[in-house]
């Protein structure tokens, strides 16, 4: 499939999507949305792919939603098209997606990174929700997901002042899982994704689903949900294989069954 704004590759069992609008610092227009979704859905449907990595350039993961595309929209345009609702399909991808973020992850760029399952940041990464400087507010999850990641005080600070957070602060605050030198970013993210892809895919997908459920439900319901999924894993051949491999002191050979 020919893409205009992204580069799509596979590295073994890992699907790699690179945002590629260098002249607009990877601003997220409607073409980027359609292409990222299409590429991710193809990886989702490919049984040989176990995890995905989403990245940008060294200068920008993505500098936000495309301001030039949206500036002349009216309220009814935004309302009728339910502007940004398409990105919810990205958040519904069931295989793991790692965001490898270097440079600017601003506005919709920060929100897209937060829709991934975890964020590995380069030491030059800058996260922010600067929508307030444009006379608007976050519209792709920034007020909700950022608050869950970093708590009310920092989320308010970022959404109300529009200031950016550097990689060290983002790691301290729980927004990113690890920070690595910029030259090692892609390698580190691909390594993490390749490790995930070696495990039992149904177990990985259920673990993802369980962690995500913790954001949607009470602790008691979340624990019950986790336990039921855990029970269901005893129907997997991979559970038998994984535990037999441990007992027999050999490495496991998961078959996603
Ligand atoms: C469209 C963008 C863009 C964006 C950068 N560009 N960000 N185009 N939408 N979000 C374009 C610039 O217009 C410019 O194009 C080119 O990319 C290079 O950008 P520069 O500004 O020249 O680069 P630099 O001086 O290095 O500054 C980098 C920057 C700055 C600090 C990241 O570009 C910036 O502040 N961008 C906007 C960040 C932002 O506000 N994001 C939130 C968007 S709103 P030309 O053609 O001039 O060379 C959002 C959510 C909306 O994401 C939700 C509510 C509706």
Read off the tokens for 225.
């949900």
Is 78 in the active site? Answer: no
Q: Distance from the CA of 151 to the center of ligand 1, in angstroms? A: 26
Q: At what angle do helices 219-232 and 201-213 cross, to 10 degrees?
A: 170
CA distance linking residue 8 with residue 123, whole number of Å: 24
Q: Which of 20, 21, 25 to mutate to test ligand 1, by most ligand atoms within 8 A of the CB atom?
A: 25
Q: What angle do CA 179, 181, 187 make, to 5 degrees?
A: 90
Return the pLDDT at 109: 98
The CA 163 to ligand 1 mean position distance, Å, reads 15
**Residue % of the chain over a pLDDT of 90:** 100
The backbone region for 25, taken as left when phi is positive above 0, alpha when psi lies in -120 to 50, beta otherwise, is left
CB 98 within 8 A of CB 192: yes
Domains of the chain with bracketed CATH: 6-197 (3.90.226.10), 200-248 (1.10.12.10)
Contact between 137 and 156 under an 8 Å Cβ cutoff? The reply is no
**Ligand 1 contact via 27 beta carbon (within 6 Å):** yes
Write down the pLDDT at residue 1: 80
| Atom 17 in ligand 1: residue holding the nearest Cα | 24
Catalytic residue among 111, 113, 128, 193: 111
Mean pLDDT, residues 9-38 taken together:
98
* ipTM over 0.90 threshold: yes
pLDDT tens figures, 196-232: 999 999 999 999 999 999 999 999 999 999 999 999 9
Q: What percent of the chain has pLDDT over 70?
A: 100
Whole-number Å distance, alpha carbon 189 to ligand 1 midpoint, is: 25
| Confidence category of residue 130, pLDDT binned at 50, 70, 90 | very high
Q: What is the average pLDDT value for the chain, to the nearest integer?
A: 97
CA distance 40 to 36: 6
The stretch 125-149 carries a mean pLDDT of 97
Distance (Å, whole) CA 171 – CA 176? 5
d(CA 163, CA 167): 13
Determine whether the shortest distance from the Cβ of 78 to ligand 1 is under 6 A. Answer: no
* 111 C-beta closer than 6 A to ligand 1: no
Tell me: pLDDT of 27 over 90. yes
Q: Which protein residue's CA is at the shortest distance from atom 24 of ligand 1? A: 25
* Residues 32-64: tens digit of each pLDDT: 999 999 999 999 999 999 999 999 999 999 999
* 241 is annotated as an active-site residue: no
162 pLDDT above the threshold of 90 = yes
């Amino acid at each position: 499939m020919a893409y205009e704004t992204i580069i799509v590759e596979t590295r073994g069992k890992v699907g790699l999507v690179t945002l590629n609008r260098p002249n607009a610092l990877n601003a997220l227009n409607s073409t980027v949305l359609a292409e990222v979704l299409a590429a991710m859905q193809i990886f989702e449907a490919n049984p040989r792919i176990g995890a995905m990595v989403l990245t940008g350039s060294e200068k920008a993961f993505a500098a936000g939603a495309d301001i030039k595309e949206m500036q002349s929209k009216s309220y009814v345009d935004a309302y009728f098209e339910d502007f940004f609702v398409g990105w919810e399909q990205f958040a519904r991808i069931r295989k793991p997606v790692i965001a490898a973020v270097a440079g600017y992850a601003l506005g919709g760029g920060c929100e897209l990174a937060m829709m991934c399952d975890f964020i590995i940041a380069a030491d030059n990464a800058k996260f922010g929700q600067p929508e307030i400087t444009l006379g608007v507010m976050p519209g792709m999850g920034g007020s909700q997901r950022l608050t869950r990641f970093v708590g009310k005080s920092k989320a308010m600070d970022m959404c109300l002042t529009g200031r950016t957070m550097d990689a060290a602060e983002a790691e301290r605050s729980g927004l990113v899982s690890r920070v690595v030198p910029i030259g090692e970013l892609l390698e580190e993210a691909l390594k993490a994704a390749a490790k995930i892809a070696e495990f039992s895919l149904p177990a990985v997908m259920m673990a993802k689903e369980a962690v995500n459920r913790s954001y949607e439900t009470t602790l008691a319901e979340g624990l019950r949900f986790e336990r039921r999924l855990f029970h269901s894993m005893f129907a997997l051949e991979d559970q038998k294989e994984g535990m037999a491999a441990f007992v027999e002191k050999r490495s496991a050979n998961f078959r996603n069954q």
